[in-house]
């Protein structure tokens, strides 16, 4: 099996009034408000594997487990990042930041006026962290439970105590949302735009993201449901197709498509939306070539299907078919393919004859 790739947009993140797109070559492009250098700092990034926006600052995680941060630092939400090691995931909050280490512990830094930082000190067995825009934080444990800490107005923190079977946790301004393994969503906290009650009817969800007062839900078929936005913006979100990741900013939203393009909509006061139009490295997708794969015992080549399953929920999120040419099947992979489990099926014959298969390292 061989694998080919070109530079493309791999992931996106939204901050208070800025946005950032991470390219698969480890560089990044940021756009929007830059009053504290939260976007220009991205220009020199390289070898980055994750980005995350806070309100007025930006975090970047390097492949070697170190990290950097740039932007507003009045509460110390930026400067401590340079000293951290063994980091596997990052999350920006309002005026604070969180870093998850490979041993399941968490380092939090920045404003701690309501315990949104110090609450991380005793955490263990954590697999994901999230920072809220208004002084609260969340930590997802490997058993599917969640620990919340920080400002508990509207019960946006204490509501986490009852959660189980969670695979992703995200924070907005006055609310929190949790994605369960069955594709449903629980939200709690401030419900001023219906972002909490509206979450109750969601199904078949594979990823979520929160803005200040809105919730984005990505479904397994690549469509998006937006809750808490104006009718016009909701219509934009609901018309999207071929989406593989969503990201909520303060009052704006971003959607990454399978072709590597990014749709941004909402408030564009500082160019946090229109800046997405300048993203250009979106014309190619990674490709699998499987050489000499045949399905039948007599060697007759048949059409095969490559399916991608969400690594956490197990739900099918994407598939494509291929007929062999000279014994070679070529498959175009979805964006963010490394978040999925791949499996090969021989159509009409034995399922998973050649799978599941692990994606190769990205090159």
Other C-beta atoms lying within 10 Å of the C-beta of residue 280 = 11
Q: Give residues with Cβ within 8 angstroms of 210, minimum separation 6.
A: 170, 171, 172, 175, 176, 177, 195, 216, 248
For residue 261, say if its preceding peptide bond is cis, omega within 30 degrees of 0: no
Contact 273, 250 (CB under 8 A): no
* pLDDT of amino acid 229: 96
Kindly report, residue by residue over 301-322, the tens digit of the pLDDT: 455 555 555 555 555 555 556 5
Higher pLDDT, 40 or 63: 40
The alpha carbon of residue 292 and the mean position of all alpha carbons in its chain are separated, in whole angstroms, by: 35
Helices (H), 183-254: 231-238
Say how far apart CA 188 and CA 158 lie, in whole Å: 9
Contact 157, 113 (CB under 8 A): no
Say how far apart CA 199 and CA 179 lie, in whole Å: 10
Q: For residue 324, name the pLDDT band (cuts at 50, 70, 90).
A: low
Q: Where are the beta strands (DSSP E) in 201-301?
A: 205-210, 215-219, 224-227, 243-248, 252-257, 262-266, 287-291
Kindly report, residue by residue over 230-246, the tens digit of the pLDDT: 999 999 999 999 888 89
| Rg of the chain, C-alpha, whole Å | 20
Angle among Cα 280, 281, 284 to the nearest 5 degrees reads 130
Say how far apart CA 247 and CA 51 lie, in whole Å: 12
> Percent helix, strand and coil across the chain, each rounded to 5?
10, 40, 45
Q: What is the layout of strands, in order, in the sheet containing 340-346?
A: 316-322, 304-310, 340-346
Say how far apart CA 196 and CA 213 lie, in whole Å: 9
* pLDDT of amino acid 319: 58
Cα end-to-end span (Å), the chain: 14
Kindly report, residue by residue over 180-233, the tens digit of the pLDDT: 989 999 999 999 999 999 999 999 998 999 999 999 999 988 899 999 999 999
Kindly report, residue by residue over 48-105, the tens digit of the pLDDT: 889 999 999 999 999 889 999 999 999 999 999 999 999 989 999 999 999 999 999 9
* pLDDT of amino acid 108: 98
Using the predicted structure, report yes or no on whether residue 27 has a pLDDT greater than 50.
Answer: yes
Q: For residue 331, name the pLDDT band (cuts at 50, 70, 90).
A: low
Distances (CA, A) of 227 to 55, 115, 173, 334, 352: 21, 29, 14, 26, 38
* pLDDT of amino acid 361: 40
């Amino acid at each position: 099996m061989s694998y080919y790739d070109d530079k493309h947009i791999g992931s996106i993140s939204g901050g208070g009034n800025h946005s950032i797109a991470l390219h698969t070559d480890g560089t990044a492009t940021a756009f929007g408000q830059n009053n504290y250098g939260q976007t220009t700092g991205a220009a020199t990034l390289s070898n980055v594997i994750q980005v995350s926006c806070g309100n007025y600052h930006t975090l970047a995680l390097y492949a070697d487990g170190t990290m950097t941060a740039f932007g507003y630092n009045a509460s110390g939400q930026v400067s401590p990042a340079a000293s951290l090691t063994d980091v596997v995931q990052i999350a920006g909050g309002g005026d604070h930041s969180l870093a998850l280490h490979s041993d399941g512990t968490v380092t939090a830094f920045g404003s701690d006026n309501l315990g949104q930082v110090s609450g991380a000190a005793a955490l263990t067995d954590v697999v994901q962290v999230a920072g809220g825009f208004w002084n609260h934080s969340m930590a997802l444990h490997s058993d599917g439970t969640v620990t919340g800490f920080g400002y508990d107005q509207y019960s946006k923190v204490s509501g986490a105590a009852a959660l189980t079977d969670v695979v992703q946790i995200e924070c907005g301004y006055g609310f929190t949302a949790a994605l369960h393994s069955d594709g449903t969503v629980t939200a709690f906290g401030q419900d001023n735009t219906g972002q909490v009650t509206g979450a109750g009817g969601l199904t078949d969800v594979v990823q979520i993201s929160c803005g200040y007062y809105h919730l984005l839900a990505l479904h397994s078929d690549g469509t998006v449901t937006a809750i808490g936005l104006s009718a016009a913006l909701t219509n934009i979100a609901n018309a999207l197709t071929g989406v593989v990741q969503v990201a909520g900013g303060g009052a704006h939203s971003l959607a990454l498509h399978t072709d590597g393009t990014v749709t941004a909509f909402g408030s564009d006061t500082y160019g946090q939306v229109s800046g997405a139009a300048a993203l250009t490295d979106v014309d190619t997708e990674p490709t699998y070539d499987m050489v000499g794969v045949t399905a039948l015992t007599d060697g007759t080549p048949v059409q095969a299907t490559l399916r991608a399953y969400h690594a956490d929920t197990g739900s099918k999120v994407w598939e494509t078919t291929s007929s062999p040419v000279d014994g070679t099947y070529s498959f175009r992979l979805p964006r963010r393919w490394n978040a999925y489990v791949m499996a090969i099926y021989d159509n009409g014959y034995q399922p998973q004859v050649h799978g599941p298969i692990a994606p190769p390292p990205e090159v």
